[in-house]
Chain A
Amino acid sequence: MRTAPSWTELSWPELSRGAGDLGALFAFRRHGLADASRRRLRASVLVCFALTVSVIVVPAYLRSALPSDRVGHLVAVMPSFYLGFGVLAIMASITSGGGRELIPRDEAVAFPISSVTEHLAALLLAPLNVAWVIQAWAILGATSYVFGPHALAATVVPVLLWIVLATALGQVVGWTFEGLRRGRHGLLVTRSLSAAAFAGVALLVLDDHLTTVLDHSPTVSVYLASLAAQTGHWTRWGISLAVLLALIALAFLAGLVPARWALHRPLRDELRLEGERHEPARNPRSDLAAMLRLDRASIWRSVPLRRGLLVLAMMPGAVALAGNLEWRLITLLPGLVASGAALLFGVNAWCLDGRGALWRDSLPVAPGLAYAAKVIVLFEVLLAAAGLTIVLAAVRAGLPDRAELAAVVGAAVVVSAQVVAACLGWSVRSPYAVDLRSARATPAPPVVMAGYSARLAVVTTVTGLLFSATSLAPGPGPAILLAIPLLCWSGWRLARTAAAWSQPAIRSRVIAVVAS
């Protein structure tokens, strides 16, 4: 029964209509793709599917090649591993303001899109996140490795369902968090909740109770469901599957309520930022300083950018703190942070100017200086975020020796340079008109973002691993020797993009697209 007209979006007919609208919106986006992009998209889906099958099948046949005690360790941590995926799904949903938008907000205003459609779209777009994909592959691969090839398909089905359930639960929490954030004292409430959660985990770590808590994780049931397939307890397996399916349906339906609640609340934080007074700073002393000031303001006055950068800088550092990471592993963190930070705006750097890009390009300033401003501002943001992560990680890692210090500093500088070079290239080749006002906005369409994040993840992880190896050397020499050619390569890429940017025809295309 409908309790009020405003709740009509939570009726069965609306659910059906929402699903239909989602199909129309997907078609709308698909029609906007060029033929080459559609081919690339189809190829990417096929590659993803093939890789997913591979991560399920291949590890199952590797088991005998490794010592059995390693398998034992894995068995013990599998439920925690599954729980980790759930935490990731929740974090991804919270940081994206409840979930990604299929159609940007300013384009969507022309269409009657219900919260049901928004919720469905956010669920379907959740996997377009390289962290989600890699974590999903990791738990599937680990499950397959632990149980081996016997009844493999039946064994991984509970894990697949857990991935769906965790994503749906992540949406429930994400929408709820977004709804709270949009409340009158939203920032205070959400920051208090985040601090309490962080403090709770820190207490568990410090009291050495984390393992006990993880041993009672509800995801033990998922592991037992997989085990039931192995041992031929098919009734137990079937019941577990039925329970997981019912929970998925419940989580999906439960997500509709906070989705509607959150989406109908005003964007208080954003409105506050737009309404508040910003005291004027003294007049800039150079053209570059003037350009940088505007770019920095565009970053730090954007709710999604500010929040995203803070989360990216803090979370890996917090994980390193909790996990007591050694310096050789800390070299992997700058790549993770730099890639994530670049995905907030760097992959479409001129979107910082929004519709002001046209005016800004009409100012009498050399194109090279405008380009340098974007390079500097992106580089400093990535380095700052990576630096904060390293400082947090260093709290428990102790003092590094010279090789470790050179490795971690080299990793931070090199991956930042690599990411800046890649991002500026993409920004000039493939600009998009986006408004980064909303926490749900992304600097490029979700599918494109998935491609960018995958490419950045591969490059920065490989670089991080190389620097990790140099940290084992007796001195800083190998790290320095590794950094020099990599920095030169990034410098050459940046110079190549600068040459493209200096051409009026290319520059005007970027500006016209971004400002449209």
Chain B
Amino acid sequence: MGSPEAEDGVRISVRGLKVRFGAVEAVRGIDLLAYGGRGTALLGRNGAGKSTTMRVLAGVIPPTEGDVRVDGIDVAVEPLAVKRASGYCPDVGGLVPRATPWEHLQLTARLRRLDSWELRAQDLLERFDLAAAAHRVTGGFSHGMGRRFSVVLAAFGEPGILLLDEPFDGVDPLGVEATQQVISDAKARGAAVLVSTHLRDLAMQACEDVLVLRGGAAVAAIDSADLVGEEGARAYRALLD
């Protein structure tokens, strides 16, 4: 049985998250709720704690303090179950340099127990204009190609939780369009989507909710409509200072 939050449509619940690396406190207390069928943008300057929060939600980094649940599963207790529930596009690299995209997809399909996945994989590769590079090692990819393929990998298993860390960074307009489509599709099937980015306009297109982080802590949880346009830019600028 799901938790009460899951029944309310909450798929990600973070309370008092803190992450320390030695003497450095990367995240200093974040609360966050993300709902199925909605997109939540994590905005903030460099070092605000966006990527660290995403890594915790992906089950890659354990929280130092706080309660973090993905689909009601405690990340600290069952990271493997969290990994099964989520698809994650890391902020850096994210690809094994001497493996091909198809080999990445094969591994993902195997570990996520996906059957008859080949057609979906082919479709995603074509949508992201990567079909021609499917059997070349990713070490020769441009930055934008790497970002696009990381999004493909995250979305491939149609996860209930889609975590995209800087998915638009260095990506061309067609890649941005394909990424926005993947986000829309995920929301349409009821997934909770978290997008961490510096590109406010794109985040506002993709997400309904926004959490602004500063110095490892949340400074505002607002509706994305409040950060649209010139007025939104000024409001966002004020939150960063």
Question: Chain A interface (Cβ within 8 Å of chain B)?
Answer: 271, 273-280, 283-284, 286-287, 290-291, 293-294, 297-298, 301-302, 352-356, 358-366, 435, 437, 504-505, 508-509, 511-512, 515-516
Minimum CB–CB distance for B94 against chain A, Å: 4
- Of B9-17, B96-104, B194-202, B227-235, the stretch lying at the interface with chain A is B96-104
Minimum CB–CB distance for B73 against chain A, Å: 12
B100 & A280 in contact (Cβ 8 Å cutoff): yes
Complex CA–CA separation, A276 to B93 (angstroms): 21
B136 & A508 in contact (Cβ 8 Å cutoff): no
B137 & A273 in contact (Cβ 8 Å cutoff): yes
Minimum CB–CB distance for B176 against chain A, Å: 21
B137 & A359 in contact (Cβ 8 Å cutoff): no
Name A363's contact: one of B108, B137, B140 (CB within 8 Å): B108
A364 & B103 in contact (Cβ 8 Å cutoff): no
Grouping DSSP codes into helix (H, G, I), strand (E, B) and loop, the A interface class, with mixed when no group exceeds half, is helix
B93 & A356 in contact (Cβ 8 Å cutoff): yes
A276 & B136 in contact (Cβ 8 Å cutoff): yes
A359 & B111 in contact (Cβ 8 Å cutoff): no
B107 & A356 in contact (Cβ 8 Å cutoff): no
Minimum CB–CB distance for A368 against chain B, Å: 11
A273 proximity list for chain B (CB < 8 A): 98, 137
A297 & B99 in contact (Cβ 8 Å cutoff): yes
Complex CA–CA separation, A323 to B109 (angstroms): 52
A515 & B92 in contact (Cβ 8 Å cutoff): yes
**Given A274-B137, A352-B96, A358-B90, 11 additional A-B pairs, CB 8 A:** A275-B140, A277-B136, A284-B110, A291-B107, A293-B107, A294-B107, A301-B137, A354-B97, A359-B93, A437-B97, A504-B61
Q: CB-nearest residue of chain B relative to A516?
A: B92
B90 & A280 in contact (Cβ 8 Å cutoff): no
B106 on the interface (CB 8 Å rule)? yes
Minimum CB–CB distance for B91 against chain A, Å: 8
B140 proximity list for chain A (CB < 8 A): 271, 274-275
A360 & B96 in contact (Cβ 8 Å cutoff): yes
A359 & B97 in contact (Cβ 8 Å cutoff): no
With A297-B99, A301-B137, A359-B153 as known contacts, state yes or no: A364 contacts B90, CB within 8 Å.
no
With A274-B136, A284-B110 as known contacts, state yes or no: A355 contacts B99, CB within 8 Å.
no
A508 & B61 in contact (Cβ 8 Å cutoff): yes
With A364-B84, A437-B139, A504-B79 as known contacts, state yes or no: A359 contacts B112, CB within 8 Å.
no
Give the B interface residue count (CB, 8 A). 43
Minimum CB–CB distance for A504 against chain B, Å: 4
Name B103's contact: one of A280, A302, A365 (CB within 8 Å): A280
B135 on the interface (CB 8 Å rule)? yes
A362 & B88 in contact (Cβ 8 Å cutoff): yes
A290 & B90 in contact (Cβ 8 Å cutoff): no
Minimum CB–CB distance for B69 against chain A, Å: 16
A504 proximity list for chain B (CB < 8 A): 61-62, 76, 79
Complex CA–CA separation, A274 to B86 (angstroms): 30
B90 & A515 in contact (Cβ 8 Å cutoff): yes
Name A297's contact: one of B88, B103, B111, B136 (CB within 8 Å): B103
B76 proximity list for chain A (CB < 8 A): 504
B80 & A505 in contact (Cβ 8 Å cutoff): no
B33 on the interface (CB 8 Å rule)? no
Complex CA–CA separation, A428 to B59 (angstroms): 19
Complex CA–CA separation, A286 to B99 (angstroms): 18
Q: CB-nearest residue of chain A relative to B88?
A: A362
B200-212 toward A: CB 8 Å interface, digit per residue (1/0)? 0000000000000
B61 proximity list for chain A (CB < 8 A): 504, 508, 512
Minimum CB–CB distance for A280 against chain B, Å: 5
B97 & A362 in contact (Cβ 8 Å cutoff): no
A362 & B58 in contact (Cβ 8 Å cutoff): yes
Minimum CB–CB distance for B25 against chain A, Å: 15
Q: CB-nearest residue of chain B relative to A285?
A: B110
B150 on the interface (CB 8 Å rule)? yes
B94 & A279 in contact (Cβ 8 Å cutoff): no
B100 & A278 in contact (Cβ 8 Å cutoff): yes
16 contacts between A and B (CB under 8 A): A274-B139, A286-B110, A290-B106, A293-B103, A293-B107, A302-B98, A352-B96, A355-B92, A356-B93, A356-B104, A356-B138, A358-B94, A359-B96, A362-B60, A363-B111, A515-B93
Q: CB-nearest residue of chain B relative to A505?
A: B62
With A276-B136, A505-B62 as known contacts, state yes or no: A354 contacts B96, CB within 8 Å.
yes
B136 & A275 in contact (Cβ 8 Å cutoff): yes
Minimum CB–CB distance for A107 against chain B, Å: 15
Name B135's contact: one of A278, A290, A298, A511 (CB within 8 Å): A278
With A364-B80, A437-B139 as known contacts, state yes or no: A297 contacts B98, CB within 8 Å.
yes
Q: CB-nearest residue of chain A relative to B91?
A: A358
B110 & A355 in contact (Cβ 8 Å cutoff): no
A302 proximity list for chain B (CB < 8 A): 98
A365 proximity list for chain B (CB < 8 A): 80, 83, 111
Q: CB-nearest residue of chain B relative to A298?
A: B98
With A274-B139, A277-B136 as known contacts, state yes or no: A294 contacts B110, CB within 8 Å.
no
